[in-house]
């Protein structure tokens, strides 16, 4: 009897000690993307490798997933700590010839394709050919990858005739990005086919959910003898699939005939998943349709993937606002219930370490199998999806007000190798505005291009209109000039509350006659000179460090501007950035609207994301400040 009492006493002590630990370590705030990223860097300061696990030292998708999250953090913040972390991890594997340590193309494993997206991103930034060569190797694997009879990629060579939902995320975002940047656009037909085949064979007609895998031969023990599908709706498998859809759409041509089909698949699965969201926790279970069934548990990686997809779906216009609100509610639940603090470090719990089908030892795909797979604290698949969800949720802020930023492509209309380039959103080279576009989107606005002459009907769709470096005959055979009709339309739009940004250039690279006629309406005149000239890499010559107390320069100590046209002002225009007796930035109130002018394109990729600039210049932060300031002007000016 004494032994029995002692046993129960021990149980009680253990229960309350665990309860006390759980309550003590429970958090009571929602952490920002910056805080989550900083925490991960404390957990894994040098490399993305599970401690004590040799296999995680190989080239693998989990590392690629985390690096993609840090790439998005870099786009959001411009913090080079994130960029250096990515490069350091990639450089451990990729040598100067583009060979990838531990990677074997003959494995024909789709999981190994996933880090390729980060290779392309870093290649676009650095132009170091080793990253492109490595990406080319991964693209070659896709050419050799075995396929089903209808063209679906086998998940791995060791899993013949099988398509898994996971494989769509492993291959298709990279395949799409590579095709968009370097490939043949016909490949988008192949990419769409992968999603359509999964929908055809893995979607359950009754629930609208998707089974984890499909065996074309129906010969696997886990496969249904009639349909060939596995038995269970595994949460993370659908998370990978949903993320793959919304990420691929970033690169899928707007005019492609199957784009609408992919959006419909995304919307349908997004809706169907809502039916199985736990009403109490606002999250999803490991086996999605078995809510509260014995042994089942809330799984935070799948939940975070759904959160990410819902938030991005709203931000990109595929889903209504209600999905963003659901995502935010679910995200808060993950943090408050499954993110625990211990020794000043955050730890994400309830992440399934891994699950699959077949193999050795054999995984039968049963309910008991999925609920028996071990969980891992701070698993990369969970932490990566939580960080991505946090970044995507942070973008909303101004979207509810429908702020739109239009960039002129009519007066700046340059082509190289039959492709539009130079100060445009799509240009990821040094000369492009792709990073600026990301900054604006992270400020909560929507970016767009304006390919026609501005009219009142066009301009009324936008809150901010940007004209950059209008073409000269030396740049474009038949330039479009800012004529009197356009000047009338633009000035009327500004007067009614629009915000106009004018970015000129130095004396040899800009059409000033017509630009100055427009600028003159607001008391601004570009002087057609070239100040602040920089010789070679002597970047200090482009320094402005005596900056005024102004919202544009909040927490900014030093910016870089070179070969810039100075400005004269009249009427109601005011100087903004002055050195000596010369003005380099100016602004002007005009009716209900506002004009900002600078004598240089200034915020193009080369001088905003530290591709060339040494540490210390803060053009990125200045760009963030500029659009926060001007977007606030639109909210003040618009009726």
Q: Please identify every residue annotated as catalytic.
A: 166
Cα 248-76-619 angle, rounded to 5 deg: 130
Burial of 448 (0-12, 13-18, 19+ CB in 10 A): middle
Regarding beta strands 464-468 and 404-408, do their DSSP bridges make them parallel or antiparallel, or are they unpaired?
Answer: parallel
Interatomic CA distance for residues 159 and 171, integer angstroms: 16
- By CB neighbour count within 10 A (0-12 exposed, 13-18 middle, 19+ buried), where does 18 fall? exposed
Q: DSSP per residue over 577-604, as a string?
A: EEETTEEEEEEEEETTEEEEEESS---S
Dihedral, CA atoms, 500, 502, 503, 509, nearest 10 degrees?
Answer: 140
Round to whole Å and give the CA distance between 461 and 457: 7
Report whether 628 contacts 443 (CB < 8 A): yes
Distance (Å) of CA 134 to CA 93, 512, 587:
10, 44, 47
* Residue 40 to residue 380: CA distance in whole angstroms: 10
Those residues whose C-beta lies under 8 Å from the C-beta of residue 528, and which sit 6 or more positions away, are 507, 510, 512, 565
Q: Which two tokens stand for residue 455?
A: 């009219």
CA 271 and chain centroid, separation: 23
Q: Which among 92, 36, 38, 97 has a CA at the least distance from the CA of 64?
A: 92
Please measure the distance between the N-terminal and C-terminal CA atoms of the chain and give it in whole angstroms: 80
Residue among 608, 638, 612 at smallest CA distance from 623: 608
What CA–CA distance (Å, rounded) separates 422 from 437?
Answer: 13
DSSP bridge partners of 341: 346
Give the Cα separation of 399 and 328 in Å (integer). Answer: 15
């Amino acid at each position: 009897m004494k032994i029995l009492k002692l046993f129960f006493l021990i149980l009680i002590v253990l229960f309350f000690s665990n309860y006390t630990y759980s309550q003590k370590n429970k958090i009571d705030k929602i952490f920002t993307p910056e805080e989550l990223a900083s925490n991960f860097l404390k957990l894994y300061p040098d490399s993305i490798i599970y401690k004590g696990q040799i296999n995680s030292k190989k080239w693998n998708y989990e590392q690629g997933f985390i690096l993609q999250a840090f790439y998005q953090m870099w786009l959001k913040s411009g913090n080079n700590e994130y960029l250096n972390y990515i490069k350091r991890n990639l450089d451990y594997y990729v040598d100067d010839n583009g060979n990838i340590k531990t990677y074997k193309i003959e494995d024909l494993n789709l999981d190994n394709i996933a880090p390729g997206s980060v290779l392309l991103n870093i290649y676009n930034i650095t132009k170091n050919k080793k990253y492109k060569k490595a990406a080319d190797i991964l693209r070659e694997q896709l050419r050799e990858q075995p396929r089903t009879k209808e063209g679906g990629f086998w998940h791995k060579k060791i899993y013949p005739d099988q398509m898994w939902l996971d494989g769509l995320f492993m291959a298709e975002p990279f395949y799409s990005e590579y095709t968009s940047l370097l490939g043949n656009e016909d490949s988008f037909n192949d990419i769409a086919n992968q999603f359509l085949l999964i929908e055809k064979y893995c979607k359950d007609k009754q629930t609208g959910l998707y089974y984890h895998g499909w065996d074309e031969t129906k010969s696997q023990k886990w496969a249904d003898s009639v349909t060939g599908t596995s038995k269970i709706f595994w949460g993370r498998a659908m998370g990978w699939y949903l993320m793959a859809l919304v990420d691929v759409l970033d690169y899928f041509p707007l005019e492609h005939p199957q784009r609408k089909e992919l959006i419909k698949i995304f919307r349908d699965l997004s809706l169907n998943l809502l039916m199985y969201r736990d009403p109490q926790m606002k999250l999803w279970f490991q086996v999605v349709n078995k809510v509260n069934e014995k042994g089942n548990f809330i799984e935070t990686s799948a939940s975070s993937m759904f959160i990410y997809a819902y938030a991005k779906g709203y931000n990109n216009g595929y889903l209504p606002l209600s999905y963003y609100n659901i995502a935010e509610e679910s995200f808060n639940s993950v943090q408050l219930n499954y993110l625990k603090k211990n020794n000043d470090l955050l730890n994400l719990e309830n992440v399934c370490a891994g699950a699959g089908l077949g193999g050795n030892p054999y995984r039968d795909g049963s309910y008991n199998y999925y609920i028996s797979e071990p969980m891992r604290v701070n698993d990369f698949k969970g932490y990566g999806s939580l960080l991505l969800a946090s970044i995507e949720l942070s973008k909303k802020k101004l979207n509810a007000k429908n702020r739109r930023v239009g960039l002129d492509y009519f007066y700046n209309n340059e082509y190289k190798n039959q492709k539009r380039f130079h100060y445009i959103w799509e240009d990821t080279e040094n000369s492009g505005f792709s990073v600026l576009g990301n900054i604006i989107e992270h400020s909560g606005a929507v970016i767009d291009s304006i390919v026609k002459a501005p009219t009142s009907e066009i301009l009324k769709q936008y809150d901010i209109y940007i004209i950059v470096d209008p073409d000269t005959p030396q740049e474009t055979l038949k330039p479009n000039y800012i004529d009197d009709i356009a000047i009338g339309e633009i000035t009327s739009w500004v007067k009614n509350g629009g915000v106009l940004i004018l970015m000129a250039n130095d004396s040899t690279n800009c059409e000033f006659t017509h630009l100055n006629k427009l600028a003159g309406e607001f008391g601004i005149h570009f002087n057609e000179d070239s100040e602040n000239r920089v010789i070679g890499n002597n970047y200090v010559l482009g320094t402005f460090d005596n900056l005024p107390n102004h919202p544009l320069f909040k927490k900014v100590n030093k910016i870089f501007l070179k070969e810039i046209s100075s400005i004269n002002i009249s009427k109601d225009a005011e100087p903004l950035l002055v050195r000596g007796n010369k003005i380099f930035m100016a602004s002007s109130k005009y009716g209900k609207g506002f004009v900002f002018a600078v004598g240089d394109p200034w915020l193009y990729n080369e001088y905003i994301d530290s591709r060339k600039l040494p540490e210390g210049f803060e053009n990125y932060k200045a760009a963030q400040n500029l659009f926060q300031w001007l977007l606030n002007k639109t909210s003040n000016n618009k009726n």
